[in-house]
A and B are shown apart, each in its own frame.
Chain A
Amino acid sequence: MASVVFTPNLERHLSCPTAEVAAGSVRHVLREVFAKNPRLRGYLLDDQGELRKHVVAFVDGRQLSSKDGLETTLGSDSELYVMQALSGG
């Protein structure tokens, strides 16, 4: 199972504990998380389903590119960190 860890800053707005989900693309993994936590989707993705401009994500320590980053594949022991960017505050 892959781990999905969210910035604690999100806890100001809604609960989003670390999730364990089956491996797959980042888009797929996030979709699984959103199925159990629907409000979270709008905090991380824009209306077109892409990562918000000022949200960044890392897979096993590597930052996702803004282009096609959601198609990055997670392994069964991968960790996905979803953070707020330092920009956008």
Chain B
Amino acid sequence: MSPTTHLDVATRKGLFLLQRAADGNWRIDGTAFLAESVTMVLRDGRDGLLYAALRHGHFGVKFQRSSDGGAHWEECATPLYPDKPEESDETTPWSLDQIWALEAGGVDQPGRLWAGTLPGGLFRSDDRGDSWHLVRSLWDRPERANWFGGGYDHPGIHSICVDPRDSDRVLVAVSCGGVWQTEDGGDNWRLTSEGMFAEYMPPERRHDPTIQDPHRVVRCAGDPDHLWASHHNGVFRSTDGGNSWSEVPNVAPSVFGFATAVAPNDPATAWFVPAVKDEHRIPVAGQVVVARTGDGGESFEVLRAGLPQEHGYDLVFRHALDVASDGEELVMGSTTGNLWSSQDRGESWQAISHHLPPIYAARFS
């Protein structure tokens, strides 16, 4: 297990590259794209390349790549939706709005990248972002007509989990369109939202697997059949590779949230950052806390040491909580620009910064 040496933070106003200082604390070592919206970052452990997805307010989405750790960048290809058929009557625009998820393919697939996007397309690159292809086998599924926006106006893919045992097995999660899996690198897809439900929907649609709203799905690296999901209705867990899901009702102080992390070395240990549900989306009672289970969701501890406990209105977005490969260290970034780390599995938190731009993603590598 290689030690964690980098922490990359994508924000509303730029990319921040942190390194661990001699005293063990994280320091901002570099910046890029200041003032630009950076929706996602990926440092590829296979070849060291660093990728950043930008969302210019006026000029659209752009995809950037650095081969020297962020000192220099080059614009590479941007995923491009095909021409919308003239006969199509769907309201979803066939135009890239945001790269919402970005993951490396398997170690046996050098150069392969997966990009999940708004308005719902999954893209694949096999040449480190020099070109992209819309995965039509998912985009053309008739069930996509049932998808709808969750938080954003249109559907989006925010979670991509490559199975470390078999790189052709990939799970993606859609807000709002359920959980989908391929076993052949994306040629065919299965809808695997069984067990998820949505109490906020009309009764006859509550168990409809095509409209489920998983906010975030993560896979345990060391035990890949175990996955956790924050869903609009609450927390769900799978112990069979994401084929079926069961509710985890005991999350305190609330079951609603976005950020989700699972210990890479213990599938029963997971972290969440609860909030008041639905349209409120602020911490319960103005107290920023992390909920942790160590027993597969049977019980939860509410962890708050070092976090604001009075008039705290930080929301932690779905990609802004990460756990390091040692299963001990965590990082969490908020919409208020707070960036915290924990060295003790979330028991206590130390601020890295209190004044970054709103944080979209924080990733260890």
Show the binding face of A for B, using Cβ within 8 Å.
9-10, 13-14, 39, 42-44, 46-48, 52, 54-55, 84-85, 88-89
On whether A84 and B95 interact (CB within 8 A), knowing A39-B75, A48-B83, the answer reads no
- Which A residues touch B94, using CB under 8 A? 47-48
Mark B59-83 against chain A: 1 for CB-CB distance below 8 A, else 0: 1101000000000000100101111
- Residue of A14, A48, A52, A85 touching B60 (CB-CB under 8 A): A52
- Which B residues touch A46, using CB under 8 A? 60, 93, 95-96
- Asked if residues B58 and A47 are in contact (CB atoms below 8 Å), the reply is no
- Asked if residues B93 and A48 are in contact (CB atoms below 8 Å), the reply is yes
- Asked if residues B58 and A52 are in contact (CB atoms below 8 Å), the reply is yes
Determine if B3 is an interface residue (Cβ-Cβ < 8 Å): no
- Measured between C-beta atoms, what is the minimum distance from B123 to chain A in Å? 12
- Asked if residues B59 and A43 are in contact (CB atoms below 8 Å), the reply is yes
- Measured between C-beta atoms, what is the minimum distance from B52 to chain A in Å? 14
- Residue of B56, B57, B62, B81 touching A47 (CB-CB under 8 A): B81
Determine if B84 is an interface residue (Cβ-Cβ < 8 Å): yes
Most buried by A among B59, B75, B78, B94: B59
Show the binding face of B for A, using Cβ within 8 Å.
56-60, 62, 75, 78, 80-84, 93-96
**DSSP majority for the A interface?**
loop
- Across chains A and B, the number of contacting residue pairs, with CB separation under 8 Å, is 46
Residue of chain B at shortest CB distance from A54:
B58
Q: A42-B62, A48-B94 are in contact. List 11 more A-B contacts (CB 8 A).
A: A13-B62, A39-B75, A42-B59, A43-B60, A46-B60, A47-B80, A48-B81, A55-B59, A84-B59, A85-B58, A89-B58
Supply 30 A–B pairs (Cβ within 8 Å), ascending by A.
Answer: A10-B59, A13-B59, A13-B62, A14-B75, A39-B75, A42-B59, A42-B60, A42-B62, A42-B80, A43-B59, A44-B59, A46-B93, A46-B95, A46-B96, A47-B81, A47-B82, A47-B95, A47-B96, A48-B81, A48-B95, A52-B58, A52-B59, A54-B57, A54-B58, A55-B58, A55-B59, A84-B58, A85-B58, A88-B57, A89-B58
